[in-house]
Amino acid sequence: MPSSHTPLSVAEQDSVFRPRHVAGTTVGRLAEELQATGHEPLLTPVGRREHETLLTGAAMNPHAVGEGDLFVAVSGARAHGADFIRQAVEAGATAVLTDAVGADKVREQVGYRLPVLQVEDVRQAAGPAAAVIYGNTQDSGPSLFGVTGTNGKTTTTYFLRSLLDTLHGRRGRRTGLIGTIEIGAGQETIPSQLTTPEAVQLHSLMALFRERDVAAAAMEVSSHAISYRRTAGLHYDVAGFTNLTQDHLDLHGSMEEYFATKAELFTRRRTRTSVITVDDPWGHQMASVATGRVVTLATAGQAAEVDWEVVDVVPDGMGHRFTLHHARSGARIRTRTGLPGLFNVSNAALAAVMVLEAPDVPFTREEVVDALESDPFTISVPGRMQVICESPAAIVDFAHNPDAMIRTLDAVAATKGEGRIILVIGAAGDRDRSKRPTMGAIAVRMADHVIVSDDDPHGEDPAQIRDDVMAGAREAVESGGLTTVLEEIWPRAEAIERAVASASPRDTVILAGRGHEIHQDFDGDHRPIDDRVELREALLRHGHRPLEIQDSTVQDSTPSGRAHAPDDAG
């Protein structure tokens, strides 16, 4: 088990979390199952040997292929998986699921050495195929709790898991977690490559969870995952919706399309009980289109005809105490969250209601109430409103879209007193460009001193990304007659140093956008940097007294000594 988030190669990760006791299936039986579910597979060659070939796993990434695996070769923006067939065969793949182009590529490279199942839509077939291989059915795995929405997925799943852990832990059972930061089964964790893994990995995880007595799992469901069919073949006991605001328009094109993608999760076919936060119009719309059992939750005060509402919110330390009121029964449940920001009350309330409304659970509502009263939401979440120092207040947060920035800066403004807000922001490359100037404008309107720096430029020119953010910021300063100090400083470590150097003990320094991340990607060059470590060191240099960082995702070594990200993450 990795004790910290030292990057592991995909192969290493796979070996930590590979289920060991998979009965598997034969290629012939898999072809029949795919036929029965409408995928119309074409199997070549069609001999008895091919039909009887045993499959005991599935992998889409050639680095993750193991002995006896079905290699799922998809056509993507960067490559066709079938280009890596030799590597997959060497690693032990015994059959391939691919499209017509992939089938030709396989034959060109390895002839008829292994059976090829050809389908039209490989991503659509991958989940159901993996489900058959791993023996996953609707009722075979842990209770599955999925969370989607633009912001709050990671935090809500951490809260959910903490609550589920309290409840199942009392019965000696384990819980699981799948999300942006890490994948966990009981005490064991591996760092994540994606927020929501590919379907083949998800099904492998469901088998692993069964093997390791994981009773319930909390999982983030990104809109990319739904678009790319990563969740095909999974069934959720409960799915929760946080909110919908501008992000990912590069993929979805419009908010309507973005909404429609998320809405796929809240259908009877996928989910038994949907818990929808109805704080914004998109939430109301989601509640009206969701099929199956729908439960509504209002966390922001305006509650008409909702099932649950949050009332009596009072500040408590860095976080808040609040009450969940159930309209029908009149029940009132008091609980608390330790994380700053009213949005964390919303996240905690969603987690609570998802468990309170879960079908077929081995615990009573009284036990859930008891667990809620024992403070399951006072955990910290890596890089989410993570407090690094109290004087000056210094916080690392993951806000990287307009709404998250507004919420985060609102939260800081509510507690900052007379001090100033000093903010470091950037924006990621190769992602929704339209949000950059908006983020710049929000920054200068809500903070007193804004330092624009780099996030993950990926394949884009970092200077161009900073320009886009600066353009929105300058325009807002000029048109609004603002007195905000605006600077552009890179690399990021220097921006952090500048923020801390400018801070008096009454001020609040907030680093937005990178949260738990430990590398910046400059066109494939993964440069180590952890905002939490960088901020802590700058605070120490300037004679402040930061807190110890109690977080397994933080690297032990100094910034320059940290390892590089795996270069085989694709």
Ligand X SMILES: CC(=O)N[C@H]1[C@@H](OP(=O)(O)OP(=O)(O)OC[C@H]2O[C@@H](n3ccc(=O)[nH]c3=O)[C@H](O)[C@@H]2O)O[C@H](CO)[C@@H](O)[C@@H]1O[C@H](C)C(=O)N[C@@H](C)C(=O)N[C@H](CCC(=O)O)C(=O)O
Residues that bind ligand X (CB under 6 A): 60-62, 74, 76-79, 81, 84, 194-196, 198, 222, 224-225, 228, 570
Instruction: Please give the torsion angle defined by the CA atoms of residues 448, 380, 179 and 264, in that order, rounded to the nearest 10 degrees.
Output: -70
CB of 313 vs ligand X, minimal distance in Å: 27
CB of 318 vs ligand X, minimal distance in Å: 25
Angle, CA 170 vertex, CA 166 and CA 176 arms, to 5°? 55
CB of 400 vs ligand ATP, minimal distance in Å: 6
Cα 539 to Cα 388: distance, rounded to the nearest angstrom: 9
CB of 468 vs ligand X, minimal distance in Å: 18
Closer to ligand ATP by CB, 272 or 435: give it: 435
Closer to ligand ATP by CB, 102 or 382: give it: 382
Residue 532's H or E segment, with its range, is helix 531-541
Closer to ligand ATP by CB, 110 or 569: give it: 569
Closer to ligand ATP by CB, 307 or 397: give it: 397
Q: Which tokens hold the place of 161?
A: 């898991």
CB of 294 vs ligand ATP, minimal distance in Å: 19
Closer to ligand ATP by CB, 71 or 343: give it: 343
Cα 417 to Cα 415: distance, rounded to the nearest angstrom: 6
CB of 245 vs ligand X, minimal distance in Å: 12
Q: Which does 81 bind (CB under 5 to 8 A by kind): ligand ATP, ligand X, none?
A: ligand X
Q: Which does 198 bind (CB under 5 to 8 A by kind): ligand ATP, ligand X, none?
A: ligand X
Name the residue among 265, 272, 270 with its Cα closest to residue 293: 272
Closer to ligand X by CB, 296 or 438: give it: 438
Size of the chain in residues: 570
Cα 75 to Cα 358: distance, rounded to the nearest angstrom: 38
Q: Which does 155 bind (CB under 5 to 8 A by kind): ligand ATP, ligand X, none?
A: ligand ATP
Q: What is the DSSP string of 345-395?
A: HHHHHHHHHHHHT-SS-SS-HHHHHHHHHT-TB---BTTBSEEEEETTEEE
Closer to ligand X by CB, 255 or 485: give it: 255
CB of 175 vs ligand ATP, minimal distance in Å: 18
Closest residue to ligand X in the complex (CB): 76
Angle, CA 523 vertex, CA 456 and CA 492 arms, to 5°? 35
Angstrom distances, CA of residue 120 to CA of 386, 445, 480: 46, 50, 54
Q: Which does 404 bind (CB under 5 to 8 A by kind): ligand X, ligand ATP, none?
A: ligand ATP
Closer to ligand X by CB, 196 or 453: give it: 196
Closer to ligand ATP by CB, 331 or 406: give it: 406
- Which are the contacts of 250, defined by CB distance < 8 A and separation ≥ 6? 431, 432, 433
- Which are the contacts of 37, defined by CB distance < 8 A and separation ≥ 6? 128
CB of 456 vs ligand X, minimal distance in Å: 10
CB of 150 vs ligand ATP, minimal distance in Å: 6
Q: Which does 271 bind (CB under 5 to 8 A by kind): ligand ATP, ligand X, none?
A: none
- State how far Cα 552 lies from the chain centre: 17
Cα 388 to Cα 542: distance, rounded to the nearest angstrom: 14
* 154 in a known ligand binding site: yes
Q: Which does 76 bind (CB under 5 to 8 A by kind): ligand X, ligand ATP, none?
A: ligand X
Residue 451's H or E segment, with its range, is strand 449-452
Q: Is the distance from CB of 212 to CB of 186 less than 8 angstroms?
A: yes
Q: Which does 154 bind (CB under 5 to 8 A by kind): ligand X, ligand ATP, none?
A: ligand ATP
Q: Which does 502 bind (CB under 5 to 8 A by kind): ligand ATP, ligand X, none?
A: none
How far from each other are the two terminal CA atoms of the chain, in whole angstroms? Answer: 23
Q: Which tokens hold the place of 117?
A: 């199942």
Rounded to 5 degrees, what are φ and ψ at 503? -90, 135
Query: Which residues make up the interface to ligand ATP (CB under 6 A)?
Result: 151-155, 180, 195, 220, 222, 242-243, 343, 346-347, 384, 397-399, 403-404, 407-408
Name the residue among 323, 320, 329 with its Cα closest to residue 295: 329
Residue 26's H or E segment, with its range, is strand 25-26
Cα 63 to Cα 431: distance, rounded to the nearest angstrom: 26
CB of 458 vs ligand X, minimal distance in Å: 8
Q: Which does 491 bind (CB under 5 to 8 A by kind): ligand ATP, ligand X, none?
A: none
Report the DSSP beta bridge partners of residue 96: 71, 116
CB of 416 vs ligand X, minimal distance in Å: 28
Q: Which does 235 bind (CB under 5 to 8 A by kind): ligand ATP, ligand X, none?
A: none
Closer to ligand ATP by CB, 39 or 514: give it: 514
Give the CB-side neighbour count of residue 111, counting CA atoms within 13 A.
Answer: 1
Q: Which tokens hold the place of 166?
A: 């309290």
* 26 in a known ligand binding site: no
Q: Which does 194 bind (CB under 5 to 8 A by kind): ligand X, ligand ATP, none?
A: ligand X
383 dihedral zone (left: phi>0; alpha: psi -120 to 50; beta): left
* 150 in a known ligand binding site: yes
Closer to ligand X by CB, 79 or 413: give it: 79
* 230 in a known ligand binding site: yes
Closer to ligand ATP by CB, 56 or 151: give it: 151
* 570 in a known ligand binding site: no
Cβ-in-10-Å burial (0-12, 13-18, 19+) of 277 comes to buried
Q: Which does 398 bind (CB under 5 to 8 A by kind): ligand X, ligand ATP, none?
A: ligand ATP
CB of 219 vs ligand ATP, minimal distance in Å: 11
Q: Which residues are annotated as a binding site?
A: 149-155, 195-196, 222, 230
Residues annotated within the binding site for ATP are 149-155
